Amino acid sequence: MTNRIREFRLQKEMTQEDLAKRVKVRRETIVFLEKNKYNPSLRLAYDLAQVFEVRIEDLFSFEDEE
């Protein structure tokens, strides 16, 4: 799964710390998400989408693993 968190975060001029506080996680979680090293829970994905005012599917996409 890939995501566009960093792109949307920069558009909103937010730091990783700002975003982490908004969705109630540690900054390190945002770092791992942005590096595609962590897949969020559905709740976290929803909260992130709400912050950026986009749909979850606009923020995350699945890549076929063959």
Q: Give the whole-angstrom CA distance, residue 50 versus residue 44.
A: 10
Phi, psi (5° rounding) for residue 14? -110, 145
3-state secondary structure of 5: helix
pLDDT in tens, the chain (66 residues): 899 999 999 999 999 999 999 999 999 999 999 999 999 999 999 999 999 999 999 999 987 655
Q: Give the whole-angstrom CA distance, residue 53 versus residue 8.
A: 10
Would the pTM of this model clear 0.85, i.e. be above it?
A: yes
The domain limits of the chain are 2-54
8 Å CB contact between 57 and 4: no
> What pLDDT score does 64 carry?
65
CATH number among 3.90.1170.50, 1.10.260.40, 3.40.50.620, 3.40.30.10, domain 2-54: 1.10.260.40
* Helix ranges, the chain (H): 5-11, 16-23, 27-34, 42-52, 56-59
